[in-house]
Chain A
């Protein structure tokens, strides 16, 4: 098989000593920052972007793969050991995980999360190896109108799925699209919405947007509502898993993987829905001890969702690498990382830069194995990170945010833009607007414009060119469906007089 050979080449590049070192630095930094309370995987990647500025692309992406998976691992440690919901993707893990920890089974909860993440991550990365080239083969035939329809689908799906209120999801998307418009139009050289500020001619860098909305926004939000009693951290020893717990864990791991991967690959699917589904499935399938323990700390309720969470992280990479389509905030920032190096993910990337793509995929396997080794014995160490006093933690986050943004262009104007975006991020958090649509809109908006103009240029101004291809029609119908589904669900719920389950929380 062709892609198998390429993957082996990828391993050859990922396993060189220097790249192994980059992978190790990536997973360590990713776990460390991911463990910090209040920091999700998206913010982890955004904050660590500047670290990779001076590294050559192939190594940088190997490091990124490590940061990405490391951030996911770190998040689950936080949610098990702290009795408060953390980032949306590991919120479900906290339900049973924290109860297990309280009953003195923290070591087992952490172990099933770590081993489950390893199993799911490895299997799902294997699926990525198979799926990505298949999608690429299919996407070769895509015209600009299809890519435009794909972007519309990503916009609508992400806005309507991630928020209980569609109008707030769309509002967030609108902010992102407007930010994406700032700068010089690449085709005609006209400055748009720059207010005559020369520093804005190149547009607003995505690092500023991500760091502003996530890091500074979070710090301001925490400042406005700081919990003055420090949260209780459950002490934990080395993470391990007994024979009985292995027997109870392995099936939920596999089922979680099966749920997580496809949802991760869908626009708007994300990690929230599959983790929730996995939790519900395990609850339904629970028998005997598990049934009694469910709700009081059943290991199945940690194993399944945690596997689903990591599998969806790998699933997200399928549309990202093969179509250039980000389906989550984290993926959008990864896409921006590619753009930093002048690379555009999509079928061409597999063609022109196979070494880079397959090196990154191979290092996902490598990083996953490293994380397992890093997480089982070092759990007590990561637990210590949770004790960092909050004033220092958030002051440090803002300091690193400022450093990363200033390092981009050595310009104070960027810091002011960062501040304005931080205020926006704070307001969005406060009023329950999901942040992901803004980040995706900002990054995908300019690409949607290019494809739209290309399509209309080919069609000589005829708007009908946008619905000429069957693929585009299907994608646009799906987008309409994504917008209408929440409305229909609301109507149905009203008729039945039931409350809708709060299925998802925005990142």
Chain B
């Protein structure tokens, strides 16, 4: 962190001084027209120079932790390194400066990339029907559920109204189901951390729309009975939705389509290295089995018919799938995110793809091995995949130190804390995902810090209660923020 980071940075409005401007614009080179009667009287935006703008946002940037500083071990978030060539690609005018409604003969390079990405994602997932349109994982989920809904309705099966969701699922799964008009039925996790098959057998019936399954699940465990679980749902006439949030654990090692998943979304900002951007934009393409492809949102990219191709030089074109559920957003998806994912997959190719999952899983198991004697690992009797969960309950009971205190203290060691208090099924949970882009040395340093914090919890719990000590701000009053919301600058 920089030397300026602990100073409170004024709001850009507070830096404003009448008469300043941050960019010069050209004079009007055409005859002017009388301005409209409904022109606004005033506009209260800041007035600052270019220098003010650059310094303000640069100083603010230094109050952020980021992947390029070090490990960012948020479980289920896959904060891997974002390759720099991806960022160079998206700045090029042939990608950044093309209009979505241009005639397709002027955008063949963009369409070729999208077609290739569709094909590669279909191959990696084992599910050949692909739409690139969804803007994020949650929108991919909505897309997937609407595709499943359309499939059931096309078969004139309107009685299916419930979606089965394991209790360890991300909150987006139940929220998506109710947004789609379905009731959510929760399924318990068994003692080994798998979906409870007996309960699934009881609940899967002719009212079941689908099972939403995250695999590996949010405990970081591969569902040992995933094929059986999919079979139970299929036997009941339902489909299986795969939440691909944790695809990084198995990419190149196993394909969801091969073990029974019918519909899968993939968060390109997780597995395929699209940067998270402080919370977005992401991209959440959806892959489906052949028989579901006609229902996908469009437009999607297809190879142009040969006769058209001869006539107009078009090799690729947009097309709407025959029974499409419609659009889920305007245009074709978060195009620049797609560019990054395309470049990333090409950088690995068939030779290296599997190394992503293999190293992500080695790193997670290694970190678990380093920490299991100090922290309590409720599923430590199994090998984890890309992530694992620990519980801070012993620290809470013995020293009055809760998981939030541990997380805040981690910041003082110069790291971002893991995901905390999720999944909800593990009390005082810490959920850790190192990803394949951490070196052994960096994992050792991180493990050493966590072990030292555990010692501090024993010897000096107050140090943890008061943490962070070295961050740009100390703990913030969230109760005040919620009771008296201040959501904007008041002039």
A binds B: no
> Which residue numbers of A lie inside 8 Å of B, CB to CB?
none
